[in-house]
A and B are shown apart, each in its own frame.
Chain A
Amino acid sequence: MRIRPVGAHALLLDCTAPTDIAEAGSDIPEAAMVEAWRAELWRRRERGDLVAVEIVPAARTVLLDGLPDPTTTAEQLTRWAPVVAPATTRPNQANANVDEAADVVVPVCFDGPDLPAVAGHWGVDVPAVRHRLTSTRFRVAFCGFAPGFPYLTGLPTELALPRLATPRPRVPAGSVALAGPYAGIYPGASPGGWLLVGRTDLVLFDVAADPPARLGPGTTVRMVAA
C-alpha cells in the first residue's frame, strides 16, 4: 500500500504499488485489498476516526477527498490495517460459510448481441458463457462511468475481454455487459463499448431510494437466468 498525494485536500491509496515492507497480505488480489480498505475507511468515518467528504474505491485505489488535514490522515493510514477477507469468502469461491443471503440476485435475460463474440474469445459455446455468468459470485468493486454503474469482479482475469473497437452510440438501460476483467450493468441508456450479453429489468439507480444505487461498492451479486 502506497499513499499518493492528490492536490491539497485528497489522498490516493494505491493498493498495488510496491511497498518498502513486506505486507502479510501481499499475495492478495488487489480488488480484495481495495474492498478491504474501502470497508475499513467507511467504518472509520462512521465511527468518527476519519473526516472525508468522499471515499471512492476504483480498480486498484481508494480516493479520499475533502480531507481537512491530509498530512494527519496520511499518518493515520500507516497505522490502520484493514481486515482482508480470507480467500475462501471472496467472490467466485464456492463456500458454505459465505453469507449468500446478502447477495443481490439480478435476473438476466441472456440474449445479448455479443454473446457469440464472448464465446469466441473464451473458446467455449454460448451456453457455457451463460453457465459461467450464472455460476459466478460477483462483487461490486466500484461504481463509475454513470451513476449506479457497477464494475463487478469475480470472473478470472484470464477471461478478460477487449472493448468494442467502435462503441455503440446507444446501449439500452439494463444491458448486462463485459469488458476487461469486469462485468457491468448500464443503469440508463448511454453510448457504450462493452460487450452486451443480456439485459435485466432491475432498477440500478433511483434517486428516491436509499441508497440510490442498488449495487453499491462491496455488494455481492449473483445473476440468474430470467
Chain B
Amino acid sequence: MTHPGAIEVLRAGALTTVQDLGRPGWAHLGVPRSGALDPAALRLANRLVGNPEHAAGLEITLTGCTLRLTRASTVAVTGAEVPVQAGVRPGDTGRPLSVPAGTVLRIGPARRGVRSWLAVAGGIDVAPVLGSRATDTLSGLGPPPMRDGDLLPLGDPVGTPAPVDLTVCPTPPEELHLTLGPGPREDWFTPTAFDRLFGSAYTISPVSNRVGARLAGAALPRAVAGELPSEGIVLGAVQVPADGQPLIFLADHPTTGGYPVIGVVTDVTPLAQARPGTTVRFHGPQR
C-alpha cells in the first residue's frame, strides 16, 4: 500500500482555506453554500492535475503561503497573478507542475488580484462535512483556516495531468463592470437609489471577505422605512443595510438576511480578485 501523502503547511499566510464546490442544498437548515469564490478557477486547477473538478484544493489569499508536499505529486495554481516556486525551480501559474517528494512549494504575495487556487493530484482528503470539504468562514463548518504546522491528507491520484503547456489566467481588471439582475425588494428603494446605483462608481471596502464584498459610495435611499423580516438570500444578492452602502454576498453568505436586496449580481467571480479600492460599476441586464 502506497502512502497517500500529505501537505504540510509551513506558512499559512493571511487566509488559506480548503475549498471545493461547496455544500449547496442545505440552506433551509441555515447552512451556507461556501466553496471556492471562483469555482471556474478551482475547476481549472483540478483539471490541470487530473483531478475531478469537484476535488478539494486550497484557496490562498493575497499574502501567499508556503507548503511542503510529502510525496511526489503534480500541482497547479490558478487565479491571481502570483510568483510560484517549487523547490529551487521557478514555476508558473496555470500549468501542471510535477514535483518530487519533499518539495517546498512557495506561493508568493499576489502581484495582481487577491486569491489563488492550488490543486494537488489526488485532492485534499480531509473528512467531508455535509458533502463538502470547504471551510465555511461564517458558520465554522469544514476544516478551520490553515495555521502554520497543519498537516492536510492527500487522496490517491485518479487521473492523468492535463497535457497542456500553459493556460491563460485572465488578468484582474482595474475596474469591475457587474451586471445586475432583478432584486426582490426593488420597491423598497427610491428612483434616486437606482440612479445612483447605475450612475455612480463604488469602491471595494477593506472589510470585504468571503461572506461579502462591501462597497463604499453614494448611499442608496429607501422608499420604505423599517425592518424587513428575514428572508432567503442568494449568491450575488446586493443587500442594502441601514447606512445605504451596498454589500454583495459571496460564497459564505448567511442563508437569510433582514435588509432589502435591491438587485442580484449575475456573476460574482470577478469579485474574488477585487482588491480594496477597486472601482465597481453596475449595469442593467440589457447591457
Contact = CB atoms under 8 A, between A and B. Distances in A.
A85 interface: no
Given A7-B181, A146-B30, A207-B130, A58 B232 contact: yes
A32 interface: no
Counting chain B residues whose Cβ lies within 8 A of the other chain, the interface size class is 20 to 34
B255 interface: yes
Contacts of A6: 181-184, 234, 237, 261, 264
Contacts of B231: 12, 58-61, 63
B229 A55 contact: no
Secondary structure at chain B's binding surface: helix, strand, loop or mixed?
loop
A57 B182 contact: no
B232 A59 contact: no
A143 B28 contact: yes
B138 to A, nearest CB: 9
Interface string B162-199: 00000000000000000001111100000000000000
B256 A58 contact: yes
B83 to A, nearest CB: 37
B248 to A, nearest CB: 12
Contacts, number: 114
A107 B130 CA distance: 27
B230 to A, nearest CB: 5
A216 B29 CA distance: 6
B29 A148 contact: yes
A59 B139 contact: no
Contacts of B256: 56, 58, 142, 144-145
B129 interface: yes
B229 A56 contact: no
A112 interface: no
A65 B27 contact: yes
A54 B184 contact: no
A57 B184 contact: no
Given A55-B28, A58-B256, A144-B256, A5 B232 contact: no
A60 B28 CA distance: 14
Interface in A129-186: 142-149, 151
A4 interface: yes
A8 B265 CA distance: 9
B182 A7 contact: yes
Nearest to A145: B30
A7 B236 contact: yes
Contacts of A36: none
Contacts of A148: 29-30
Interface string A1-36: 000111111101010000000000000000000000
Given A54-B27, A144-B254, A147-B139, A4 B230 contact: no
Contact of A144 (B30, B140, B237): B30
A213 B237 CA distance: 25
B126 interface: no
Given A54-B24, A56-B255, A217-B28, A61 B232 contact: yes
A139 to B, nearest CB: 14
A12 B266 CA distance: 17
Contacts of A213: 29-30
Contacts of A14: 184
A207 B129 contact: yes
Contacts of A63: 27, 231-234
A66 interface: yes
Interface of A: 4-10, 12, 14, 38, 53-63, 65-66, 142-149, 151, 188, 205, 207, 211-213, 216-217
12 contacts: A7-B263, A12-B184, A58-B230, A59-B230, A60-B231, A65-B27, A143-B29, A143-B255, A147-B26, A149-B30, A188-B140, A212-B26
